[in-house]
Structure 1
Amino acid sequence: MRSPAVASRVGVLLGISFGLCFLTGLVSHYAQLPQQPVPFPASPAWGYRVTQGLHVISGTAAVPLLLVKLWTVYPRLFLRPPRRLRGLLVEVAERGSIAVLVASAVFLLASGLANSTAWYPWAFSFRTTHYALAWVAIGALVLHVAVKLPLIRQALRADVDDTALDRPTATEPGALSRRGLLRTTWLAAGVAVVATAGNSVGWLREVSVLAVRSSDGPQGLPVTKSARAAGVLETATSPAYRLTVEHAGERRTFGLEELQALPQVTETLPIACVEGWSENAEWTGVRLRTLLDLVGAPAGSAVVFESLQESGAFRTSALPGHFADDDRTLVALRVNGEVLSLDHGHPCRLIAPNRPGVRQTKWLSRVVAT
C-alpha cells in the first residue's frame, strides 16, 4: 500500500484541497484589509459566506488526506542517501523542501481547526501567521510537485495495482488492497466534509457533528465574542448611551430612541465568520447612508467605526465608500424581529453585505466618515 501508485492518487486530491483552501484563504485575508487597492465587492451578499465555508471545509477534508499521504511515503525518509556529492545535495534539498511542506501543512491544518472552534492556545497573531505560512506551504507544494511530476505522471497512467514503481523492499501485502485503502481515504475525506459543512450549509446541520457553532446562540445566531468578554455590559445598557456620527467637523449624536425614530428598513443578509460558520438573518435598522447624509458626508466617503469595547484587534473597522453607499448597509437595531441582544451588539451594530463577521462591528459608539 505504501507505493507511488497510492501516494500519487491521494496527492492529487490533497493538492486540490490545499489549492482551494489557499485561494479562499487569500479572499478572506484580502476582505479584511483596511486598505484595498481593488475594492472588495459588496455583491453578491453571500459571496464571503461561500468562500469562507469552502475554506474551512476544504481544510478539514485535507486532514485525513494528509495523514494517509504521509503514511504512504514515510518509508522513503529512511532510505540511504546517495554517496556522490551531487546526488547527496539534490537529495538533501528535496528532503528539506518536503520537511518544510509537511511542517507548514500540519501547522496550518492544526491551527485552522483550533481557530474554527475559537480556541487560541498561542500568543501570536493567528491571521498574520496563518497567512504567511500559507505562502510557505503552497510554495513548497509547487516545488514538490515540480520535482515529482515525472513520477506522478507515470504512476497515474499505470494501473493502481502496477508494482513497477514500488520500492524493492515493498513485497509484503497490506491489510487492505490498494483500491480498498483509496476507497477508505475518499470515504474519510467525505465524512470530514459532511461533518463540517453544516456550519454554512443549513440542511446538513442535523448530521454535521463538527459544526458546533451553527445556530448556537441567542436569536438563532452564534456568538464569537460576548458582551461580557468585550467588557461592555455597563456601557451598552447605560441610559446615557449616544452614537456619534461625524464628518469634517460636523457632528450629530443619537440616543437609542432617536435612532429608532429614524426611517427603519429591513434587509436579509448573512453574517459569516472567519471561523467558518454563517447564518442568514433579517436585520432592521437605519441605513448607514441616511446617517451620513445628516452630517453632510458625500457619496463615496469611507467610514471608520468604533466600538464601545475598550480593546481588541477589531475594536475599530474601516468600511470602503461603496459599502457605505450600499442601501443594504445598516446600523442595525433589531435582528429576526427582536431587539438586538447584548451579545449581538445592542444597542446597535454594523451589518453590511459580503463582509467578514469580524468587520461587522458590534456595540457601535462612533461613526466617522473620512
Structure 2
Amino acid sequence: MTIPLKRLGCRLRDLGLRLRSVKPPLPSFSGGLHDARTATAIGRWLGVAVVACFVTGLVSHYEQHPPDWLGNALPSRPVWGYRVSQGLHVATGIAAVPLLLAKLWAVYPRLFVWPALRSVRHALERLSVAVLVAAALLELFTGLLNSSQWYPWPFSFVPVHFALAWVLLGGLVLHLAVKAPEIRAHWRIRSAGTLSLPAEDGPDRRSLLTAVGAAVGAVTLTTVGQTVTPLGSFDLLAPRHPAHGTQGDLPINRMAAAAGVDASAVRGWRLRVDGPRPYELTLDELRALPQREVTLPISCVEGWSRSARWTGVRMRDLLDRAGAPPGALIRVTSLERHGAYRVMEMAHTYARDPLTLLALRVNGEVLSFDHGYPARVIAPNRPGVLQTKWVSRLEVL
C-alpha cells in the first residue's frame, strides 16, 4: 500500500508539531540576574581579557617558535618587552577565570530552553556557544597548570595551547556575529528589573558586577606580583615568587639534575665557536676576555620574571672573532642531554645587541650549576626558555 506524497508530508508535519509540543521536564529559573544584560556586561570584560590574552600569547609563541620569515628579524628592544607581554598574558588569563565562571552562571539557564533548536540561527548560536565554552575552559585550565609546570596530559602543551587559542578566537567571532543584535540591544541600556529586582532574586546586578570585579581584582593582585616585583608581597596564589631562589634570589625553572648536567659533564669544558674562523676557548680563556656587566630580566613563560646583574663576554665579540657576517643566524647548543630547548637559534638582532652576553656570573657570583655553569646566554626581550644554560657551542649559520 502506498501513501501519497502530500499525505506523507502532512503526517510528518503533524509529527513534528507533536514532538515540539512535548516538553521534557526541565528546571525553571526566575532569578532576574540570569538575563542578557548581565551576560553582556560581564561579556565585555571577558572579551577584553580574552583578546589581550590572545594577542600576548601570539607574541610569546612567535618569540619561542618564530616562522622562517620572522626568525632572523625579532626585535631585542625594549629589554623589558617580553617581561611585560608575558606577564600580561598570564595575568589576563588568570583574570578571565572568574569572568568566565560569572558569564556561565549568567547564561546557563539557556541550556534548558525548549525546543532545543528553533531555527538555523539558533543552531548556529548553540554551536558557537559549545565551541566557545569548551575551548575557553580547556585553554584556561591547561594554561593554569602550565603556569605551575604540571602536565598531567599525554600531548605536548605548546602546539595544543596555540591551536586552542585559534579555536577560541574563531568561536568568539562566530558567537559575536550570531549574537550581535542582542548584544547591541543590551550594550548600554538597562533591562527590566535592573533597579528593582525582587527580594528573592538576591543581590542586584550592580552588586553582582561589583563582586565579580572584586574577584578579578583579588586573583590578579595575588598573582601578578610574580611579574610586578613591587607587588611581590601580595603574591599569595602565584605558583612562583620572584624573590624565592638562589644567587640573589633568582628563581630557577630547570635544575641541572633534571637536565643531566653535573661536574663530570663540564670536566674539561671548552666553548666551541664555529664560523668562517672557528676556534675554541677554555673557561679560563673566556674569563680572560673583556667582561661586561648588564642588568636584564629573566622572564619565563609561566609568568614570573626577575631582574639580575649578569657579567660575561659580549656575544657579538665572540662572533666577530669567528668571522660571522653581521646578519648571520646563530645556533646555540647546550650540554643538556634532553629537552625541547637543548638547541636554540638566535636572530642576529639578539646576537649583535650589545647587551647580549655569554654570562659567567650573576649578581656578583660565579654561576651555579642550576643557573647554567659554566656559561649561559642572557639577552634582552627574550623568553627564559631561550636563555640557554650550560652552553657548549655557538654556530654561525
| Distance in 2 of aligned mates of 1:260 and 1:236 | 19
What residue is the counterpart of 1:226 in the other structure? Answer: 255
In the alignment, structure 1 residue 97 sits paired with structure 2 residue 122: no
Comparing 22-31 with 145-154, greater Cα deviation is found at 145-154
The one of 328, 336, 348 aligned to 1:321? 348
CA contact (8 A) 1:244 1:366 kept: yes
The alpha-carbon deviation at position 89 of structure 1 amounts to 3.4
Q: Secondary structure at the match of 2:211?
A: helix
CA contact (8 A) 2:223 2:234 kept: no
| Distance in 2 of aligned mates of 1:309 and 1:269 | 23
The one of 43, 47, 53 aligned to 2:81? 47
The alpha-carbon deviation at position 256 of structure 1 amounts to 1.2
Give the 5 Å matches for 1:66-145: 66-81=100-115, 87-145=118-176
Q: How many matched pairs?
A: 360
CA contact (8 A) 2:82 2:382 kept: yes
The one of 231, 241, 259 aligned to 2:269? 241
CA contact (8 A) 2:360 2:374 kept: yes
CA contact (8 A) 1:197 1:208 kept: yes
What residue is the counterpart of 1:21 in the other structure? Answer: 53
| Distance in 2 of aligned mates of 1:228 and 1:99 | 44
| Distance in 1 of aligned mates of 2:271 and 2:246 | 24
The alpha-carbon deviation at position 6 of structure 1 amounts to 0.9
CA contact (8 A) 1:232 1:309 kept: yes
What residue is the counterpart of 2:38 in the other structure? Answer: 6
CA distances 1:124-154 after superposition (whole Å, capped 9, x unpaired)? 1111110101000011011111211221122
- Name the CA shift for 1:174/1:236 in 2 (closer, same or farther; >3 Å): farther
| Distance in 2 of aligned mates of 1:235 and 1:327 | 33
In the alignment, structure 1 residue 147 sits paired with structure 2 residue 175: no
| Distance in 1 of aligned mates of 2:395 and 2:237 | 40
- Name the CA shift for 1:34/1:4 in 2 (closer, same or farther; >3 Å): closer
The alpha-carbon deviation at position 211 of structure 1 amounts to 2.8
CA contact (8 A) 2:147 2:239 kept: no
Q: Secondary structure at the match of 1:254?
A: strand
CA distances 1:49-108 after superposition (whole Å, capped 9, x unpaired)? 00000000000000000001001101101101267xxx4433233212211110110011
The normalised TM-score by structure 2 is 0.87
What residue is the counterpart of 2:297 in the other structure? Answer: 270
In the alignment, structure 1 residue 285 sits paired with structure 2 residue 317: no
The letter of the residue matching 1:5 is R
What residue is the counterpart of 1:56 in the other structure? Answer: 90
Which consecutive unaligned segments of at least 5 residues does structure 2 have?
1-32
Percentage of identical aligned residues: 50
CA contact (8 A) 1:34 1:318 kept: no
CA contact (8 A) 2:136 2:168 kept: yes
What residue is the counterpart of 2:69 in the other structure? Answer: 37
What residue is the counterpart of 1:259 in the other structure? Answer: 286
CA distances 1:229-253 after superposition (whole Å, capped 9, x unpaired)? 0001134542x111111114x3211
| Distance in 2 of aligned mates of 1:101 and 1:90 | 16
CA contact (8 A) 1:330 1:350 kept: yes
CA contact (8 A) 1:235 1:241 kept: no
The one of 76, 99, 112 aligned to 1:65? 99
- Name the CA shift for 1:324/1:176 in 2 (closer, same or farther; >3 Å): same
Give the 5 Å matches for 1:289-308: 289-308=316-335
| Distance in 1 of aligned mates of 2:243 and 2:326 | 36
| Distance in 1 of aligned mates of 2:308 and 2:232 | 17
The alpha-carbon deviation at position 160 of structure 1 amounts to 5.5
